[in-house]
Amino acid sequence: MKGSSRSSLKKASSYTKKCKNSREKYFNLPVEKVFARVDVQKNGKAREYDVIAIAGDKIFVVDVKSQYRSEYFKRFKKMLEEFFDWFPEYKGKKIIPVIASFNLSPGVIKQATKRKCLALQMGGEYFDFVNFKDLQKIF
């Protein structure tokens, strides 16, 4: 795994710190590892994951966009389906898909909920899950 530019790593690091409170508040899980801006290569192919957090038997895979749009869901779904191909060492853990943005439109939140994907947006000083109540039974 390698990071991209120093500026991107700084932003991702800040993001993961602000998300820590949400993970603990909703899931009460100690976070073992957090990877930000993960670039992986295998068999001549490459994939980038914005944030991966390992917590107990769960893996939070977070797709971060400044403005999340509906068309991003298709690509994110493919990334989730291929996750264990890139990270076989985590097979057996449950993936928690998360989309994140500073501001999510009601339509995107509705789509995320329909797709069983947590939606995380800025709420005051920290990021907060905005559709957790609708999905808590499946996580």
Q: So where are the chain's domains? A: 6-138
Residue 128's φ and ψ, nearest 5 degrees, are -140, 145
CATH architecture of 6-138: 3-Layer(aba) Sandwich (3.40)
Burial of 42 (0-12, 13-18, 19+ CB in 10 A): exposed
In which band, very low, low, confident or very high, does the pLDDT at 27 lie, cut at 50, 70 and 90? low
Q: Is 77 helix (H, G, I), strand (E, B) or coil?
A: helix
pTM attached to this predicted model = 0.78
What is the CA angle 62-66-71, rounded to 5? Answer: 75
136 has a pLDDT exceeding 90:
no
Confidence of residue 4 (pLDDT cuts 50, 70, 90): very low
Tens of pLDDT, residues 71-120: 999 999 999 999 999 999 999 999 999 999 988 999 999 999 999 999 99
Is residue 18's pLDDT more than 70? no
What's the confidence (pLDDT) of residue 26?
A: 62
